Structure formats: structure tokens, C-alpha cells
Amino acid sequence: MSFKLRQLPRITSRIVRMGDRTFDLWSPNSTQLPFFPGFRRANFDVLMPVNPAERCYDGHRGRMDCLHVPQCFRAGAVHWPFLHRPSLVTPSDPSAAAFQPLTIHWHNDPPYSRTGKLDASFTRRLSAMACDLNTRMEALQCSFRPGSTTWALRPTFASGRNICMLDNVRYWDEVVDLGVAVQRGLREREAWVAWHGEATHLEPLLLHHLREMQMPLADESFVGLWVNGLEELAVLKYMASAVPCFVVHEYRHQERVREGTTYSSFLEGTEIESLLSDDNPYQRVAREAGRLDSIARGRRCSIVQGQRLWHLDSFQHAPSVVDPPNRDLSSSSRSYAAPPLEYQEVDPDRVPWIVPPPVAKAKPGKWDRFELDELDGNRAFLYRGKGKQVESRLTFFDRVNRRCLHLGSYQALEGVVEPKVFGMPVPPFPFYHPGLGIKLIPKRASQWMYETPEPRPEDVGRSLSKVERLELPLCEAPNLQESAASEGAGTGDAKGKGKEKVIAVEDDRQSDYGEGMDVDEPREEEIPSSVVVIDGTDSSVSALMFQAMSAEALGSVRLRAIGVTHGRDRIWLRFASTEEAQRAFGAMGSIASQYSRDLWFPSTTVDAGYGQDTPMPSPEAPQEAQPTSRDTSQPPLSQPASASRTSRPLTESERFVATPPSPRARGASQAQVAAPSVTATFALSMPLPTPAPVVASLSIPTAPRAMHHLTDLRAFDGANRSTTPAPFSFASNGSTYTSSGFTHRRPFTASAIVAAIANRYGSTAAPTITYGRWGRDTLGRHVAKFTATERALEDGEISEGEPAEKRKRKARRERAAQITAVVEAAEATGDAVLMDWVPALQAAADAEEEEFVEDVSIPSWA
């Protein structure tokens, strides 16, 4: 400290001797004897550990946890000293629910069970506290100037939605993780409101005013802070606010040590000792669970590591903490642990984003192989020599350390974005190399891995500076009872050879990364009827991104996929039952789902703002033309004229490439265009047969009830049965439904398709369904290729051996058409993401890349 606290008595003090070093810990205004945690590293933050074995049994986060331990000052957390100490909050306090142990509100199912439920009155009290804090914080917003950093850094976690999730959690370990996080968020928000009131009151006071004040004794209900390194003005303001202030002083070699109670560690004699005692209610739960013959693994440190303080930071003067006798392999020495992951909060209602390092290029040299295997009942990466056979099917690459990492399965962490380019975290298990005899030598663990050994040249060194909120999944608590019943058949190491590699993302409680669900290229009979398959997804859309995009639509009908898997341009969503899978299709206009036993891929184009039971909005402006019913015996119905830029009829092959017109092209009103709509295409699960498709068509006027269409569709189906078996295409311009048949490998009836649609949407909403062949193209590439090909045919530019100059002109036209398609799609849908890609497309066009259409991928907005 560079100043003296004038006229302030020494209220309490204690001496700590550790080896040849002596410290004096004292306070000018408090009677507390707090624990000194040490100084926090720059840019260090306390987050919940990714590895469940490192999470503390009661949800606290070690000595750097501001809820339990006074911290040194941190500029971005000026409210921490105003946090209340849980031991001094009475049950009658309105905010008591945020401080009470979860154990007193937890009701086990049977005795000593790991499942149960939180008391509903407890969550209601948390919700009431959250609403009150929302009101109080919103009232304070006017006191901050626009763009204020202090307002932007205010704590916002623990919304009503987060609290409602607690009602659905049935496992104690999950309740501790989510429940303590909710309590933490509410307590921080309460402290922020208290800090703002004091800061506003003391703002006009200058240093000489504070020096002349009679400082009050501390309010011992506050946690307080260590004031080492603070300026005098800041210290006096905290003291004037009755915040407990503490000072640590290390005696120099010749300095006289004052008399006082002496301790052997910073921990001894502090309130933190109670966290490690048998009086801690969480510890009692852990101890009782430990007596059971079968426990829910040691996932949470409430069982495995319940006797120690988990610490993130190392500080030479901090207390020594003792591990439990049976040390887990996952808790290997920190000298061999991988660096911690970097997290960034993008949205308080979504999981933190795991910030990837810049895309790495593999270092020169040979690659070492490590396989994730069992070692003394624990999982670890074991070195595999040249002659050692590797059975795990999945292979990832640590380019920095030149390691091939073989896993039986892999469950990506929530918060990972664009793993195909930027990679993903390595499961946090130790690495071992064989030594002499049977001895294993620990090696530095890998932190980051990629799906390929080498990046694309244009990706080397790329970094991701920010992500969109929709790319991150919501902070939802998984329905573990459902997944527990359904995961049994899908777990295991799933080792094998000669099969396709697929990354599995599952709610699997076997471990944080899970044993997962390994999915090969499916055969028809292998896919259960409760699985919905989306074909032709953009490679940039990961399983987690798709899960986040579909969460709102599924939530509107109270559904949740219990498993999401991505591979080979497909996404599998598994539901608890066939009924749920069918309801999911009816509720989501943003995905194409597959009735797996029939292997057809539908695509819906509906307004995303409307749910299952909400009718689609009727157009406010008249349509340009209303198609009339056509005889089903008439052959091919051409696509709407707006899908083509010429007046000539489309050929049979082009018919399946043309894109349905946008709402603006159909004459829709501005209100319709402004409403966010979503479009997706689908593809057959097998290639179309060689013969040209037999195309028939039918137009059906819109009826109030979707079931009214069935009679006409059955007649159409009968017409198709007399020819080559054909499936069914169903499109709408807003008032008329138009159908077109095309070749299918089995006689799947049109009436069954529309019956399923009617069942999903009920009697009020009539969906717009479009079937097409090119499911793997996004709208921009779809339109670009079609228009570019059409223009080239018209101009006679496509021929074998055409000159290079013509090829360049054709490529430039394709680029221009693609940019135009993206702009039109963005205007028609109001989608800002597509507009963000226009500069990138223009830059690529300026660079005159020959393979632009193939190399530049536009994110699917479906």
C-alpha cells in the first residue's frame, strides 16, 4: 500500500508463518478473519470446469470464487465486495432462496437415490427474486450514459427461463451444477444493485472529503475485499460504504513481527474451513452417496474430490490443499495438464462460446498415435507404437504436437462453433507414454484437435473473433430421465474398422464427452422410426448449431431431441418416440425431416413465427394469378415462370433444379415478405433412377382444413400408380397448392404424405411443402448454378474445348448471379446473415477465382 489509513484502528489481525516467510493479515474495519486467495492472473476468469471430476461438490469454484472468499480488486467486478455472506442470511430474508443449500429443498425419490426433485416453492421464490432484480436494474439504466461499459458489464445471468429449467432436472449432480449457478447469478445481481446505490451516493465526494469522514465499522454481512494495490480514493470509498476491507503484509527479513495469534496456513481459522468439514450439508450428501453399492459414477467431485478445494490458479503463498487418498487419473499433475480453454459469454441465455485458437498448420515430423482407452478403471490416452493395432474408429489430429488421437466416439462440447475449420477441444484425459517395464510416463496433454491433419491453405492462421448468438445452444438442462432410458443401446466404445467416421453429439451421462452414438451410413432397416433425418445440410452447420437453431421451434410444442448427430451432410435427430418425431416435423419450418422407414426427405416452407396450432397468415395483397385445377392425366407442369429468366420451357432435367419463386416474386404483400420465413430442400436417400421421371401435376384450391385435400390427392395418387411409381411434390403460391410427381424408387403414396402433414398441422394451418432433388445446395448456390447454366446455354457458351476466355466470362456471370441470388434471398426473408456474406462474395468475384461457385459456401438460412 502506498498510503496510510489515517485515524483508523486495527480491528483484527493474525499472523501466518509458512516456512521462512511471515505474513500479517489485518483489517481496519472488520472483525472477520478471512482466507487470502492470492492475486489473480491477468485475464484469468473463474468458470465451471469442463471436466466434471474437477467440479466441487457444492458448486463453489475454489479459492478464486468471489461468493465464498474476499478477492483482490478487479476492475470488471466492482460489485463483488457487496456480495452477502451466506452464513448471515436469515430464512426470513426475501433473498434467502439464493443463499440456502439446495439440500434442504431437494426431495429424493427413494431413500439414498441420486434422483429426485426440487421443491416447487423454492423455484418460485427464486423466480420472484429474479423478477424483483430485473425491475430494480432496469430502473437504474437511465443513470448510465449510452454505451456505458459499466452497464454493459453488469451481471445478467439467472433469468426466469434458467430458473424454470430447475423444475425439469431430476439428478442431484445436475441440480448442483445448474442450481448453484442460478443462485450465483442472483447474488451477483443483488450485489451489483447495492454497489450502484453506494457509488451514486459517494460519487461527488473527493479525496479530502473522505479523509475527513468518520469511517463506520464494516457491515459484516458483506464478503469484502483485499485492498492491496488499490488507490487511496477507492479504498476510502469502500470503507465509507461499510465494506469489510483487508490488508496482507509480508514482513521483510529485518522487520519486527508484531505479536498476535499465529497460524500455519492462510486457510487455518477461516470460514472457508467449514466448506471442508462434515457440517457442510453437501458433504453429507456426498458421504451418504459414497456408501451406496452403486453410485452415478464419480462424475461430480461431490463424490470423487469432495475433500479438497479445487483451485484454478497457482500462487506461492496460497494454502496447500490436499487431494483425497485415491487420486483420479483425470486429476493428473498440472505440469502435464493442457492449458485451460478460453470462454466468452455471447448471450446470458446461451452457453459460453469456447474461443478456438488460430487454425494451426501441422509441424514437420512424424506423427505419434494415442488411443483413448481404459487404464486402471479410468480413461486415458495411451501411446500406440508402430506395430500396435488401433481399434477406435474416429481419428482426430493435434497439429501442434503432431498426434493422431483415436477415439471410440466423441461428443462435442457445447460452445464449439465451426469445428470442421477451427477444430474442437481434446477430451480432458491424461496422456501416457510407455517407460521401462510396466511404468507409464505422463506426457503433456493435448488441448486442441482437428478432423484433418492439414488445413486448407486459405485457413492457415485464421481466427474466429466473434460468433452469432444463434450459433450457441441455449442454457438448457437436459431431460436426463428420458435420455437415461434411451441411451443404453447407443453407448459403448463402438470400436471397429472399415466404417465411416461420424461425430456423435448425444446427451450421454457416461462422461462429459460421452461414449456417444456412432452412426454409419444407414441402411433403411437400421434407422428407428423415432429418428428424423435432415439430408443435404450445409457443411458449415454443425450438430450443435442446428440444435440451437431448432430449439425454439421444438420448444413451442414442448419437444426436445434426446440425441443429435452430424455426418456426411446429414443430421440425425432422435426423439423419445415416433409420435414425438412426427410432431417435431409438424412444428419446425426450419428443417427437413425424414420418415426413416420410407426414406423420403420433405422440406417445409412455413412462417417461423407460427406454431403447430396457428394458422398461416393469409395474403393481404391479391396474387398475380390463381392457377386452376389441372387434369391429373396431363403431363408435366412447368415450374413457375419467376424461377426462370427466360420464356422457354424447362427440360426434364432442369425441372428439378429450378427454385420456387420468392414471396416477392409471387406478388406477396410487404407484410408477408417482412415476416421471417425459412426454406429447405431435400434429396432422395438414393440416386434417382436413370429413366426420366414421369411427371404429373395437380392444383388444389386452398381449403380451411388441410384434410380437405386428401380426396383429390388420393385420385392423383391413383393416376401415378398406373405409371412408373412416383412420389409427390407439393408447392404453394399462398392460395393454391400445386403438386408434381417425380420418379421414386418405391410406390410411396401421395395421400400418405399429405395425411402425415395434416396430422402434424391439425385442422387450421396449411403448410407449404416443396420437394426437390438438389438437397445439398443452399438457396444462393442453387439459384446461381441454375441461372448461370441457363444463360450459358442461351448464349451457346457451353461446349467441349471452349476457350479459356469464355470460361472466365462464364465464371464471372456465375459469380454475379450468385451474389444477386443472395441479395434477393436476404430481401425476401429479412435475413441479415445472408447480407453479411455479400461483401465476401463480391471480394471473391473480384479475385476472379475459377472455381468460385464450388469453393465459396453460403451458410444455409433454412
Taking the C-alpha atoms of 588, 594, 600 and 604 in order, what is their torsion angle to the nearest 10 degrees? 10
Q: Using CA atoms in the order 322, 328, 329, 332, what is the torsion angle rounded to 10 degrees?
A: -10
Shared domain for 282 and 402, answered yes or no, is no
Question: Which of the four pLDDT bands, split at 50, 70 and 90, describes residue 772?
Answer: very low
Q: Which residues 6+ apart lie within 8 Å of 532 measured at CB?
A: 561, 572, 573, 574, 575, 581, 584, 585, 591, 593, 594, 596
Query: Residue with C-alpha cell 453437501?
Result: 282
Q: In this predicted structure, which of 37-46, 682-691, 836-845 has the lowest mean pLDDT? A: 682-691
Residue 522 lies in a domain: yes
State the Cα–Cα distance between residues 130 and 124, nearest whole angstrom: 10
CB 29 within 8 A of CB 216: yes
User: Average model confidence (pLDDT) for the chain?
Assistant: 62
**Range with lowest mean pLDDT among 226-240, 423-437, 527-541, 775-789:** 775-789
pLDDT above 90 for 725: no
SS (H, E, C) 606-661: CECCCCCCCCCCCCCCCCCCCCCCCCCCCCCCCCCHHHCCCCCCCCHHHHCCCCCC
Q: Torsions phi, psi of 459, nearest 5?
A: -95, -15
* Domain span at 741: 619-676+691-776
Please check whether residue 334 lies inside any domain of the structure. Answer: no
Same domain for 494 and 386: no
Which pLDDT score, from 0 to 100, does residue 655 have? Answer: 27
CA 525/CA 285 separation, integer angstroms:
46
pLDDT one-digit tens code per residue, 169-209: 888 888 888 888 899 999 999 999 999 989 888 888 888 88
Quick one: average pLDDT of 431-448?
81
Specify the pLDDT at position 59. 77
C-beta atoms surrounding 337 within 10 Å = 19
pLDDT of residue 538: 54
Is position 769 within any domain?
A: yes
Query: Are residues 514 and 538 both part of a single domain?
Result: yes
- Same structural domain, 284 and 273: yes
Claim to verify: residue 668 and residue 798 sit in the same structural domain: no
The answer to the question of residue 861 being in a domain is no
Residue 429: HSE in the Cβ half-sphere, 13 Å Cα cutoff: 23
Helices marked H in 274-387 — which ranges? 281-290
Helix axis angle, 779-795 relative to 804-829, nearest 10°? 140
3-7, 474-478, 772-776, 789-793: which has the minimum mean pLDDT?
772-776
- Residue 180: inside a domain, yes or no? yes
Domain stops at, among 423, 448, 471: 471
C-alpha cell at 189: 445481481
> Looking at per-residue confidence, does 135 or 706 come out higher?
135
248, 265, 290 - which closes a domain: 290
Mean pLDDT computed over 242-248: 92
Q: What average pLDDT score do residues 252-273 get? A: 80
Rounded CA-CA distance 76/833 in Å is 31
DSSP per residue over 69-119, as a string? S-EE--GGGTTGGGPBPGGG--TTSTTGGGTS-GGGGEEESSTT-SBEEE-
Residues 509 and 656 in one domain: no
Average pLDDT over every residue of 598-606: 27
| Model confidence pLDDT, tens digit, residues 543-560 | 666 666 677 667 766 777
DSSP for 336-359? Answer: TSPPPPEEE-S-TTBPPEEEPPPP
Residues 796 and 707 in one domain: no
Number of domains in the chain: 5
- Residue 358 resides in a domain: yes
> Which of 269-278, 359-368, 820-829 has the least mean pLDDT?
820-829
* Same domain, yes or no: 18 and 134: yes
Distance CA 240, CA 28 (A): 12
Q: Residue 326, Cβ neighbours under 10 Å: how many?
A: 8
Cα 504 to Cα 513: distance, rounded to the nearest angstrom: 10
Q: Are residues 63 and 173 in the same domain?
A: yes
Residue 824 CA to residue 816 CA, distance in Å, equals 12
Q: How many helices (H) and strands (E) does the chain have?
A: 19, 25
822 pLDDT higher than 80: no
Is residue 398 domain-shared with residue 416, that is, in the same domain?
A: yes
Q: Write the single-letter amino acid at 467.
A: V
Q: Are residues 772 and 837 in the same domain?
A: no
Residue 317 located in a structural domain: no
List, in order, residues 6 or more apart from 599 with CB less than 8 Å away: 524, 684, 685, 686
Residue 432: the pLDDT is 87
How many other CB atoms are there within 10 angstroms of residue 727's CB atom? 22
Instruction: CATH number of the domain at 560, please.
Output: 3.30.70
Position 348 scores a pLDDT of 76
Alpha-carbon span 112 to 610, nearest angstrom? 45
Highest-scoring range by mean pLDDT, 455-464, 517-526, 670-679: 455-464
Which phi and psi angles does 708 have, rounded to 5°? Answer: -65, -20
Three-state secondary structure readout of 502-560: CEEEECCCCCCCCCCCCCCCCCHHHCCCCEEEEECCCCCCCHHHHHHHHHHHHHHCCCC
Q: Same domain for 425 and 523?
A: no
574, 531 contact by CB (below 8 A) = yes
Last residue of a domain, one of 757, 776, 795: 776
In a domain, 274, yes or no: yes
Three-class DSSP category at 566: strand
CA atoms lying within 13 Å on the CB side of residue 81: 28
